Chain A
């Protein structure tokens, strides 16, 4: 039988995901986060884990190089790939929100929106019929309204603490996000028994 290949978003999501796998009775190698290896074979469960950058998870899964992926809904919305979304894993919960300085909430001019998620931002404002200028940034998005680069940001918000400490407020909450288990559309058919088995043990572990 072929191995199931699971791409995981490096970092906190992979840590939470491997804990969930352990709980589901799947033994994870101890060195998974200390080693510099990128592929981990789990002999007992016929599973192989790849650790990749979050934005690459949907790509590995769409191409079928990985059968399954564990990645945040924020990345899924940004990448907008053709996949099956099987399970809400609940961890990594946060929101997409629009935020900015309090006095900039109502604006007469066209908005400038800074974000790490330009594709999602474009789709979101297009669906609302509001023309905006989108500025793609790679980190510290909160800096953009403070420095005048943009008046609005679209970002993930967990507790809202960073916003508060920088004097920013939430203009609008867009959608709830969390980690998801996704599958390659063809693999779901050609490896159905194996995927079902894994899915069942994960669902059971989440129920406990």
Chain B
């Protein structure tokens, strides 16, 4: 018998302490902006997730069959269940709907977080606001969350799903080449794009755009300046105007140094319709957060609500904090009370209780007992109970 299951793991006390501190920090940041915590079920109907092109494929989800033969999935994502919850249960409440969660999501396939199949995410969903300041607030909130979590030089890479669509429409001449071009652009595969240009005899503005796109990302103003020369449809130029305003506002909030722009940024989630973004730390290779606008998702549940949100990857943040050797744990005073005999034990117990009420961490052991444990726990103070 093998007692180990691939892709899941135990979380031991030392790491859990760090996690609990991180959760506490995140809860404070989220609730200060008026978000309320919710918990959605671990099991969801597979119908919720099927017919959702671009989202995690159903074969990458964990499936369970219930006693009636219905197929259920372990939630692969939290945005979908929260949208379902709002659209089906809370519509009599006034918009906007502001919720946050700290919970686990499950994926059976190889995805962003590589081999971990159960991962913890903390995120917010702002449902019912279409205005552009909602995007701005969400990006600023993500930055604040990353900073509060101890990330030294956070970086938010911003893209736009609708712009990606528009650019692909401009580039693709025939439908059968679409998939290839999208793949090359997603992979920033300059080599394959060069071959494609030659083979398909792409010329003019399309050629210029295809050649430049794999290397066109980074400092927002510079990228936008160049894109204005390369793009040639009204729709795409309007989207550029909107992005320019977003970047200008982020600069006015003093956040410019944390922001980059990738016009070809694409994430796995197929439900995004507008601004999308990913969070990193400069000089480090963890995906720390991702999010974006998803205006069409609530429609699937019969309600039309615009929405924007993000999730931070707790497991990756913990790994990052471990790499930079940063502890979020607030030191607590640990006290050991020792006793010699039964009479002293009662006194020791009562003393421990009164100290615990003052908020101290107190343990009781007989003198000389479990000595290895005593030194392992590194007590700040050892008190004799009979005195």
Q: Which residues of A contact B (CB under 8 A)?
A: 1-2, 62-65, 67, 82-88, 180, 184, 186-192
Give CA–CA (A92, B66) in the complex, Å. 54
A85–B281 CB distance below 8 A = no
Partner of A189, one of B114, B187, B190, B260: B260
Say yes or no: is B284 at the interface (Cβ < 8 Å to chain A): yes
B-side contacts of A1, CB under 8 Å: 283
Distance A181 CA – B262 CA, assembled complex (angstroms): 21
Interface of A is mostly: mixed
Q: Is B82 an interface residue (CB 8 A)?
A: no
Contacts between chains A and B (CB distance < 8 A), count: 57
Q: Are B285 and A184 in contact (CB under 8 A)?
A: yes
B287/A186 in contact, CB under 8 A? yes
Question: For residue A192, which residues in chain B have a CB less than 8 angstroms away from its CB?
Answer: 217-218, 260
Q: Using A86-B188, A191-B283 as known contacts, list a sample of 13 further A-B pairs with CB atoms less than 8 Å apart, ordered by residue number in A.
A: A64-B285, A67-B285, A84-B188, A85-B189, A85-B190, A184-B285, A186-B280, A189-B155, A189-B217, A189-B262, A189-B280, A191-B282, A192-B218
Binding site for A on B (CB under 8 A): 114, 155, 157, 187-192, 194, 214, 217-218, 260, 262, 280-287
Which of B189, B260, B283, B286 contacts A84, CB < 8 Å? B189
Distance from B250 Cβ to chain A, minimum over Cβ atoms (Å): 17
Distance of A65 Cα from B157 Cα, bound (Å): 21
A180 touches B285 (CB 8 A): no
Whether A63 touches B114, Cβ cut-off 8 Å, given contacts A84-B187, A189-B260, is: yes
Interchain CB contact under 8 A, B283 and A189: no
Report chain B residues within 8 Å CB of A186: 280, 284-287
How far apart sit A86 and B193, CA to CA, in the bound complex (Å)? Answer: 11
Q: Which residues of B contact A86 (CB under 8 A)?
A: 188, 190-191
Residues of B contacting A64 in the complex (Cβ-Cβ under 8 angstroms): 284-286
A2 touches B192 (CB 8 A): no
* Most B-side CB within 10 Å, residue of A83, A184, A188: A188
Q: How far is the CA of A45 from the CA of B217 in the complex (A)?
A: 24
List, in ascending order, chain B residues with CB within 8 A of A2's CB: 283-284
Known A-B contacts A62-B114, A189-B260, A189-B262; the reply to A85 vs B280 at CB < 8 A is no
A119 to chain B: closest CB distance in Å?
13
Q: A189-B155, A189-B157, A189-B260 are in contact. Are A85 and B187 (CB under 8 A)?
A: yes
Q: Report A183 CB to chain B, min CB distance, Å.
A: 8
Considering only CB atoms, which chain B residue lies closest to A188 in the complex? Answer: B188
| Complex interface: chain B residues within 8 A of A190 (CB) | 155, 280-285
A-B contact pairs, 17 of them (CB 8 A): A1-B283, A2-B283, A64-B284, A64-B285, A82-B187, A84-B187, A85-B187, A85-B190, A85-B192, A86-B188, A186-B285, A190-B280, A190-B281, A190-B282, A190-B285, A191-B283, A192-B218
Q: Which residues of A contact B283 (CB under 8 A)?
A: 1-2, 190-191
CA distance A122 to B287 in the complex (A): 31
Q: CB-CB < 8 A to B217: which residues of A?
A: 189, 192
- Docked pose: A63 CA to B281 CA in angstroms: 15
CB neighbours (8 Å) of A83 from chain B are 187
Q: How far is the CB of A127 from chain B (nearest CB, A)?
A: 12
Task: Collect the chain A residues with CB atoms within 8 Å of residue B155's CB.
Answer: 189-190
Task: Tell me which residues across on chain A come within 8 A of B287, comparing CB atoms.
Answer: 186
Contact at B285–A85, with CB atoms within 8 Å?
Answer: no
Q: Are B285 and A187 in contact (CB under 8 A)?
A: yes
State how many angstroms separate the Cβ of B184 from the closest Cβ of chain A: 9
List the B residue with the shortest CB-CB distance to A65.
B285
Residues of A within 8 A of B189 (CB): 84-85
Contact of B191 among A65, A180, A184, A187 (CB under 8 A): A180
Give the docked Cα–Cα distance between A188 and B260 (Å): 12
Q: B286 contacts which chain A residues (CB < 8 A)?
A: 64, 186
Q: Which residues of A contact B188 (CB under 8 A)?
A: 84-86, 188
Q: Which residues does chain B contribute within 8 Å of A191, judged by CB atoms?
A: 282-283
Q: How far is the CB of B236 from chain A (nearest CB, A)?
A: 22
Chain B residue nearest to A89 (CB atoms) is: B191
Nearest CB of chain B from residue A86's CB, rounded to whole Å: 6
